[in-house]
Structure 1
């Protein structure tokens, strides 16, 4: 998917407004879907919240729940209050958060681990449990392909070396990733 700069800015503002609505602020206005056809997409999306470059919440949907716009707004709220790794975001933290959005591309089954390109591909496994790692996870943590696969197994509730013992049914995907840091002037 090719998301315009203006649409990215709207999605980032709307994600922040959605989180702000938890604290009594106004909810985001629905955009003009005719002007921004990318918002009609049912693409999956994840919203990542950080404070001081430390993860504070990340939740999303592999397949969109409705339109891309609604999926991002809902994922923002879920990342703020329902990521089981963190307590719900507090109002006093709201001004400190940074938001990153990852809009997922198509999922492609792989035949060999050699097909995985670090920094380009995210990974999805639905074996045992479900595990998904966004493409930027590997580069942010300086992971090798092997470390990425081990982390994926952990995410799915499997033991780390599980991928070495079996050929897993893994799908790769790309993501269009953008954050508030990229659009400081426009936000």
Structure 2
């Protein structure tokens, strides 16, 4: 993805977040940049002073990437259940850090340890229970593979922490292209 496309995605995300937090009408977004017409999945992560303030994503999209980022940015700011009682405030907008992760397709793995920390994200599934951790989580937490898998099960998929060892668990990996405002695109 070229630098202009990355800059556009960050601008779209910021405009939508600001409108949502200010409770203003959402700006109509139209973008004809060829890099932003694909149907890839993505996550939008929001932080203030390094502290997580929201993260919402989708692995599958039936809309162009620029529209998906628009929707995910709003959802990250207003719908992440972890922050239901502490939504992003107007005073945080100046210091709000936006990180966009464009995700690859999910790749099933047989061996739970068949992934590289910091390079691969993990997606765990048992029936309708799912959990996901972006590759950045391993770097940010310093967790090893077992701890990452355990937290993905217990903290994300609402499964026992050792569920990743079970034969009925499906484990997938994926990679991301990270776009951050601090990159000074």
Q: If the length of structure 2 is used for normalisation, what is the TM-score?
A: 0.90
| 2:63 is the counterpart of 1:66 | yes
Counterpart mapping for 1:128-167 below 5 A: 128=127, 129-154=129-154, 155-166=156-167
1:19-50: CA deviations, max 9, x gaps?
11222387264222xxx322111111110000
- Cα distance in 2, alignment partners of residues 28 and 136 from structure 1: 31
Secondary structure of the residue aligned to 1:30 is coil
* Cα contact 1:20–1:26 (8 A) shared by 2: no
Deviation of residue 178 (structure 1)? Answer: 1.6
- Cα distance in 2, alignment partners of residues 117 and 152 from structure 1: 15
* Cα contact 2:126–2:168 (8 A) shared by 1: no
Deviation of residue 120 (structure 1)? Answer: 0.9
* Cα contact 1:104–1:175 (8 A) shared by 2: yes
Deviation of residue 167 (structure 1)? Answer: 6.1
Structure 2 match to 1:94? 93
Structure 1 match to 2:82? 85
**Where in structure 1 are there 5+ consecutive unaligned residues?**
none
CA shift in 2, pair 1:91/1:7, >3 Å: same
**Where in structure 2 are there 5+ consecutive unaligned residues?**
none
- Cα distance in 1, alignment partners of residues 76 and 178 from structure 2: 16
Deviation of residue 65 (structure 1)? Answer: 4.5
Q: If the length of structure 1 is used for normalisation, what is the TM-score?
A: 0.89
Secondary structure of the residue aligned to 1:46 is strand
CA shift in 2, pair 1:162/1:95, >3 Å: same
Structure 2 match to 1:124? 123
* Cα contact 1:19–1:77 (8 A) shared by 2: yes
Deviation of residue 165 (structure 1)? Answer: 4.2
- State how many pairs are aligned: 179
CA shift in 2, pair 1:26/1:9, >3 Å: same
RMSD over aligned Cα atoms: 1.7
Structure 2 match to 1:171? 172
Deviation of residue 140 (structure 1)? Answer: 1.0
